[in-house]
A = this chain, B = another copy of it.
Amino acid sequence: MSLRYALIALLTAQPMTGYEVSKRFGASVGHVWHAPDSQIYPELRKLEKEGLLVGEDVPWGTKTKTRYAVTEAGRQAFREWMNAPATPHYSRDPAYLRAAYLDQADPDRARQYLVRQKEFHAERLAVLEATRELLQARTHPVLAARFEHVPPEEHDRILAFRSYAYDGMIARERATIEWIDDGLRLLDTYS
């Protein structure tokens, strides 16, 4: 259920075609809630059918593409979702499952695995930190587009919460990397 709100959130910055959504998604809300094209396009159409988005046909070659904009109903639905009570969420991270049974793996493979994991998380950390910089500098394209039609006195507040989300993700990545280092040390101890 979160994808739809991620899409609405993105489209409140500015109207976009499906392709633009799918591109910008990956560099903004997508950090926070990843989704592939194959989910984005159908969901956009579904949201249009439900009246949370309006699609405007734009000529494209001999065909047309659709530019989506958020409707008032869409804004309302988003606000309701934001104001809804919290629902518990089960974390399901395969890394913990593998970690728990790392004693069963070949120690060298286990080490390779952890090193690779560390690389993934280091890369993600770098992307998150870079994006956070862009936000702080107010040059992030989606944020900049949003600021163009939002009164300046709200800018700080918006920026503060966007950054806050990134802070959480960055802290998590850092903690994960430390945890992986612990795992490598554990492997050294027990092999």
Contact A164 B82 (CB under 8 A): no
Contact B120 A105 (CB under 8 A): no
**The residue from B5, B78, B168 contacting A179, defined by CB atoms under 8 A apart:** B168
Q: Which residues of B contact A182 (CB under 8 A)?
A: 164, 167
Q: Please tell me if A57 contacts chain B, counting CB pairs below 8 Å.
A: no
Q: Which residues of B contact A172 (CB under 8 A)?
A: 91, 172, 175-176
Given A117-B86, A167-B182, decide whether A97 and B175 contact each other with a Cβ distance below 8 A.
no
How many copies make up the complex? 2
Contact A32 B96 (CB under 8 A): yes
Contact A103 B160 (CB under 8 A): yes
Q: Please tell me if A151 contacts chain B, counting CB pairs below 8 Å.
A: no
**The residue from B29, B78, B79, B96 contacting A169, defined by CB atoms under 8 A apart:** B96
CA distance A15 to B93 in the complex (A): 25
Q: List 23 A–B pairs whose Cβ atoms lie within 8 Å, in order of A's numbering.
A: A2-B92, A2-B97, A9-B100, A29-B100, A33-B96, A79-B104, A82-B98, A82-B102, A82-B104, A82-B110, A83-B109, A89-B93, A89-B94, A89-B120, A91-B169, A95-B168, A96-B168, A100-B164, A102-B161, A103-B154, A103-B158, A103-B161, A164-B182
